[in-house]
Amino acid sequence: MEHYFAAYDRHLSKFRGAEVHILEVGVYSGGSLDMWRSYFGKEAHIYGVDLEPACRVYENPGTRIFIGDQADKDLWSHVIREVPRIDVVIDDGGHQPGQQIATLEALLPHLQPGGVYICEDIHKSGNLFLSYLDGLSRNLHAMHLTDSTVNMPVNSNELQRLIDSVHLYPYLAVIERRSVGLDRLEAPKHGTEWQPFLDLSSH
């Protein structure tokens, strides 16, 4: 969809011209592989995943194709062994919530710091993948206090240490992995002493 392109550029432009390792789920006729090569440049390493063995025809020195079902954990175990670095994931595969969830759970922890995870074609408001993302996003706001007060700082949870942000666009989700560590969430207090309001009655 054409409105995806602005979101792609917003989140992926930082990788252009650099050595980037991009994995796309859903090769189909191979056109998007050429598009990514053109967008990211000659330093890009591109990996495609598809159910159709005939997609291997798109392999070349800068592009490698894996064949399998994106809902299969064994497929992702194999891919992770073969591709130790992943900077960008684009899930344009089967578009079924179960497949999208399985792919996210397998690949997000292996995304490089500062990496970007994109899932396309999330249709209908009741989509179960959207519900999954909602739960994931809610955990970004979890607060585990370090003492009996309600004040910061608090220790970050595993998700807060992993994910920097979650973005939603029409039919598209983007998750950005944190580029630097986050052990604690700090919010220094300012103006903690009570200052009574000015008495303006004499003016």
The residue written with tokens 């969809």 in the block is 1
Beta-carbon count within 10 A of 108 CB? 18
How distant is the alpha carbon of residue 33 from its chain centre? 19
Instruction: Report CA dihedral (12, 15, 20, 25) to the nearest 10 degrees.
Output: 10
Active site residue 95: yes
Which residue in the list 11, 21, 45, 95 is annotated as catalytic? 95
**Per residue, what are the HEC states of 9-56?**
HHHHHHHCCCCCEEEEECCCCCHHHHHHHHHHCCCCEEEEEECCHHHH
Query: Which residues does the annotation mark as catalytic?
Result: 95
